[in-house]
Structure formats: structure tokens, C-alpha cells
Structure 1
Amino acid sequence: MTGPRNLITDVPGISVGCAEDPHMKSGVTVVLPDEPAVASVAIHGGAPGTREIALLEPEQTVEAVDAIVLAGGSAFGLDAGAGVQGRLAELGRGFQVGPVRVPIVPSAILFDLLNGGNKGWGATAPYRDLGRAALDNTGKDFRLGSYGAGCGATTANLKGGLGSASVVLPNGVTVGAIVAVNALGRATVGDTRHFWAAPFERDGEFGGFGLPSPLPDDAVCVRTKLDGLNAGANTTIAAVATDAKLTKSEAKRLAVMAHDGLAKALWPAHTPLDGDLVFAVSTGQRRLECPLEDMVQIGAAAASTLARAIARGVYHARPAPGDPVPTWQDRFG
């Protein structure tokens, strides 16, 4: 079953905050654990944009992070991590080195510079301030679709957006996902209303239409943004979280398995022009009785939950003036 909110914040110890500029059509989303949390990352796209990522590998020294940042703005959006880091330092959080605390804030960005928004910010991009605002907005409830890092996201045929979902497993473990869907490919089966993620849908959360039967002729045709936008205008960035107590190596495996959900929900995925990336976070509040067996279930749940979150991000997107593609609701709602 899903968690009570069907959001990543159903995972105990996780909050989320968003800030966006609708005129700029870009924004920032922050995933904030109550306490420093074990985390890792898997990058399977060929064009990622990141900050403080190397330290998430299992062999590196730092074991826990203070926040995860997803942002628009391409490389300009990496400033959002600095804004979150500065605000966390003001709040007294961070990795302690003698009398000094350094907040650990891994970040990833997506390319939304060609989505019709006003990017004329001059010498100083606004993402540092958006990062601070997103952190100050953190809580248990947040909106899906054209908000936060998904504010101006697009796919090949429809507007993308911020998506999230959760599931509670029979052993009591909660798994949640959050994603900013800005893919090179499509989340729908061809140009139909049906989502590739349909087999994983719960309670009609993105329309309840299932898969089309038979599949349309163009279902597996490779239509991408290269048909209408410049190369590089892509990336799906996500985080999955669980209250299961994981090591850093197990968090790495969770991030790798979660990518299966991205591949189930988007066609094509993991291309040379996508920056597809998944963070994995463990709040460590529930000890596993059978770690190896439980990890199989948790990893599969992370994949299916991420697939659902991707469809929900597209399903809830809202139109705005100058959008290069329509929303799902415009076309099929």
C-alpha cells in the first residue's frame, strides 16, 4: 500500500521543500533528513551536472549528508546547493571538523534553459536564493507538477514536472521517491494518454488508464527532444529514500536498482544526452531482520515507486505561457 500522503515524505525523517520562479520557469527542490543520513548515488545518463557527488561513493570518508538538492538552471543551478549549504550552516548543521561544521549537500541539475521562461538574470543567477527559500519551505506536504525543480521541466512530447510516490512494504519498511522529469524521451506510450509506468500504478494515481491494447505502431519509436529542441536539454534527476537502516554500500545498490524504474517509465532513457541520476537516502530508523532478502524487496520497491513518481510528475504538470510542449492535462485531461 502507499503511505498516507503518497509522497517521499511518508518516509519517517524526511521533509521536502520547493521554491520556483514561474516567470523564469525554473526552481529548486530540497530533500531534508531530520538528521544526517546515509546516502549514495548512481549516475547512468551521459550528461550529468552535479556538486559534491564523489563523496557519496562507498569508499569515501563522509558517511552521511545533510540535504539533497535537485535544481533547474543547468550549471547555473548548482548555486542552489551553495544556498542550501549556507542556510544549513546558519542552523548549526554540518560535518564537524574541530570547531567548524561543513554541511554536506550533494546536488544535481537539469537543463531547462530553452523552455520559454525568462532567463535574463544578468551576472547573478537566482539559484542560491531559491535554494535557501526551498530549505525554509521544507515540510511534509508539497505540490506535484510544475513546482520546485520540475517547474519548467519538459519531455519529448509533453511538459514534465515534479513527481513523488511512496509504498509501505509488508515488513513495515517505507520507500519513497521524488523526481524532476525533464527527459529526452517520452513518459507516455507513443503519443497516447497511457504511461509506460502503468503496470506499477496504485489507486488511479495518474489516471488509471493502464497500457493500450494493442500497443500503437509508434509505441517504441525513438522520438526525443532532438526533434524540436537543441541537444542537451534533458535530464531526469531523482532521489529515493527509505527508513530501513542501510550501509553506504547498500545505499549505492539501492540507487542502482532504482534506475530500473526510470527505464520502465521513460523511453528512451539513460541516453548520452540525458543526465539521469538517482540519489538514495537511508534515515536508518528500521533495522532489517534479513538484510540481503530485504534489500531485494526494497530495491524493487524503489524502482516501481520511482516509475510511479515519474508518471505523476508529468500527469500533474500545469500549463504556462510560452511552453514549448503541451501538458498531459491539456492533451488528455
Structure 2
Amino acid sequence: MKPGPLNLITDVPGLSVGNAEHAALKSGTTVLTAQAPFACSYAVLGGAPGTRETDLLEPDKTAPGVDALVLSGGSAFGLAAAQGVMEALHDAGRGFAVHSARVPLVPAAILFDLLNGGTKGWRENPYPGLGRAALAAAAGHFALGSHGAGTGAQTAMHKGGLGSASLRLDDGTMVGALVAVNPLGSVTTPSGRHFWAAPFEIGGEFGDLGPDQARGYQTPPPSRKSAAMAALGNTTIAIVATDAALDKAQLRRMAVAAHDGIARAILPAHSPHDGDLVFAVSTGARPLVAPPLELTQIGHAAALCLSRAIARGVWEARSAAGDLLPTLRQDLGLE
């Protein structure tokens, strides 16, 4: 397996991603979409999720596909970003046909970034506009780190961010991941100088810091995030995608497998105070030949991509005025 040409989720043909953010707000929105509806399911393993329209992604529900997915900051206010995306898609004539009506289907998940030092005293919810802007910006290339839904994200010890990665399987199947990293836990080992995801790094994509050489269990330092804001403001939200033709039940298994990528890259993961959620997407371009074996490999690749994407999101984060936490690069003397 090797990364695709962009090492982004948009290496899955047909997908595009757009970001929009507000510097003073220290928050933003990321949208994944395609030219045609795509199959989607999801899995939640965190104890405090914030979502919209996820029930229709259950394998037994009738909705055949969705038009876009939204990852957003803003806690419950950020769910309104999906409304902005929905309205823009409706203006473009997109949506599930119900006789003469069209209803765009836009599931969403949010992270908590309300206590990160940004200006939050808005009179009008800014997230519908951020959703529209992110959709309008959707393309094959997009920025990582302190952009989109990762703009105001924070980990236990450093600024979080938006990350992405991809892998091409030996049979040509493409798998990718997109993630906004804002967990209760830490993405780095107790030394603060190595990623938990280091064993899965490819080509120095998140600094080539290597694995931590310390042996045995190391007591983690006190969380900077908890000291700076609150233990309740967390969540890692992600999308994994493939061009393999998976149905909603198979995508549910892909999403469950991808959660292993969170657990390998963030310690602790899936806490009562995290809303950890993974959407799984299929464009359906490549028929399966041996479904059980292929699904296993796709799930494994999704977990690897997600671990790498988490580390990339933190590695690419940049400092900004008013930040409550340093970036990893600042701690390493590189910024």
C-alpha cells in the first residue's frame, strides 16, 4: 500500500473537500461532497457526540445516499453549517427527489471549540455562512492544520487541526481519511516529542520524529487543555472514504474498523467527554470481487489512514494570536 498522489481523501476519485474559517472566531467548517450522491454510514464510539441526520445512515434506513458531509466547530451551533450547505445544494438543484421537490441530504458532526480563546459573542450564528463558503471552496486540493473544522481544535497538550491521508491498496482500491482533531487525549507520547501514530508514518508526512524510545508505561503529564479551558470540550470527528462499491452495512463495518485508527493515535480515546464519530463513504466506482477479504483490507487501510491523518492535522497546525495552547512545532522550536 502506498499513499495516493495528493495523500488526501480526495485521492478517492470524485470527492472534493472545502474549508472555511473565521480567524477571530477561531473556528470553521469543512465540507466533503461529490458530483453525485454517495453511499454513507457511520459509527460513534465517543460518549458525547453532536450530530445531524445520522439516523438515515443506519443500514436499515431507506436513504440511498447523501449529497455532502459536514465537519464543523462550534458545538451545537456548528450543526447549522449543514443548513447552509443544504440551502446551497438546493439552489444548485441537488437533492433527494420527492416528486417535484428536492431535499439535499447533509449529515453533520461537530466538535467543541467554544472555549479556545476566540471571539464567540456573535449576534447571528456564523456557521450557515461558513458551511456555504466551505461548499463553494470544495476542490481536490485543500489546506490542512489550522483550517476548516480544525481551525480552533485543541488536543490535551497542543493545538489540534485538520488532517488527511490516503492509501492505494495493491488491487488499486483507494482509501482516504479526513479528520478534525480536538480530543480530550494526547496525540503525542508523554515526552511531547513523538506521535503515538509514528509507527504508521509514510515518507515523513508528519515530521519524521520517529517513535518514542521510552520503554513501558509512561505516566502522562497533566493536560494543558484541561488547565486552559475545560475537560468537557473535546471530540475527534472524521470521514473515511473508498472507491470500492460498499453498501451501507459494509460502510458501517468500515467506520467501526476506522475507529481503531483513533485509538492508535490518541490516548485516551473514546472517552465519556469525546464525541468521537467516523463517517464512512463509498463512491461505488470499483465492484468488489471477494467482499469479505476486501472489506477487511479496506477497514484496515481506513484505520491506518485515520491514524496518519490525525498526526498530520496536529503537525500542520500553526499558531495564531490568542491561542491557549502551543503548536507542536512551537514546543519543538520549529515555529
TM range (shorter): over 0.9
What 5-or-longer segments of structure 2 have no aligned partner?
none
Helix, strand or coil at the partner of 1:205: coil
- Counterpart in the other structure of 1:4: 5
- Counterpart in the other structure of 2:300: 300
Write out per-residue CA displacement over residues 244-280 of structure 1, whole angstroms, 9 at most, x where no aligned residue.
0001100000000000000000000000000000000
Alignment of 1:1-333 (within 5 A): 1-122=2-123, 124-215=124-215, 218=218, 223=223, 225-332=225-332, 333=334
Moved more, 202-211 or 270-279: 202-211
Helix, strand or coil at the partner of 2:226: helix
| C-alpha contact (below 8 Å) 1:220/1:267 kept by paired residues | no
| C-alpha contact (below 8 Å) 1:20/1:149 kept by paired residues | yes
Write out per-residue CA displacement over residues 81-130 of structure 1, whole angstroms, 9 at most, x where no aligned residue.
000000000111111100001000000000001111111112x2100000
**TM-score between both structures, scaled by the size of structure 1:** 0.97
Structure 1: how far apart are the matches of 2:229 and 2:216? Answer: 25
Structure 2: how far apart are the matches of 1:173 and 1:217? Answer: 37
Structure 2: how far apart are the matches of 1:284 and 1:64? Answer: 11
Helix, strand or coil at the partner of 2:275: coil
| C-alpha contact (below 8 Å) 2:225/2:325 kept by paired residues | no
Shift of 1:159: 0.1
Structure 1: how far apart are the matches of 2:217 and 2:298? Answer: 35
Structure 1: how far apart are the matches of 2:70 and 2:311? Answer: 21
Shift of 1:215: 3.9
Structure 1: how far apart are the matches of 2:191 and 2:327? Answer: 12
Structure 2: how far apart are the matches of 1:113 and 1:191? Answer: 28
| C-alpha contact (below 8 Å) 1:40/1:56 kept by paired residues | yes
Shift of 1:11: 0.3
Structure 1: how far apart are the matches of 2:309 and 2:276? Answer: 15
Moved more, 151-160 or 213-222: 213-222
Structure 2: how far apart are the matches of 1:230 and 1:279? Answer: 27
Shift of 1:217: 6.2
AA paired with 2:55? A
Shift of 1:30: 0.2
AA paired with 1:68? L
Structure 1: how far apart are the matches of 2:222 and 2:97? Answer: 49
AA paired with 1:16? V
| C-alpha contact (below 8 Å) 2:28/2:72 kept by paired residues | yes
Percent identity over the alignment is: 57
Write out per-residue CA displacement over residues 12-70 of structure 1, whole angstroms, 9 at most, x where no aligned residue.
11000000001110000000022100000100000000000111000011020100000
Helix, strand or coil at the partner of 1:34: strand
Structure 2: how far apart are the matches of 1:191 and 1:112? Answer: 25
Helix, strand or coil at the partner of 1:36: strand
Structure 2: how far apart are the matches of 1:226 and 1:290? Answer: 47
Moved more, 229-238 or 101-110: 229-238
Structure 2: how far apart are the matches of 1:264 and 1:222? Answer: 20
AA paired with 1:290? A
Structure 2: how far apart are the matches of 1:41 and 1:191? Answer: 34
Q: Aligned residue pairs: how many? A: 332
AA paired with 1:258? A
Distance 1:13-1:219 versus aligned 2 partners, 3 A rule: farther
Shift of 1:220: 5.2
Structure 2: how far apart are the matches of 1:137 and 1:230? Answer: 33
Shift of 1:230: 1.6
Structure 1: how far apart are the matches of 2:142 and 2:193? Answer: 25
Helix, strand or coil at the partner of 2:303: helix
| C-alpha contact (below 8 Å) 2:144/2:162 kept by paired residues | yes
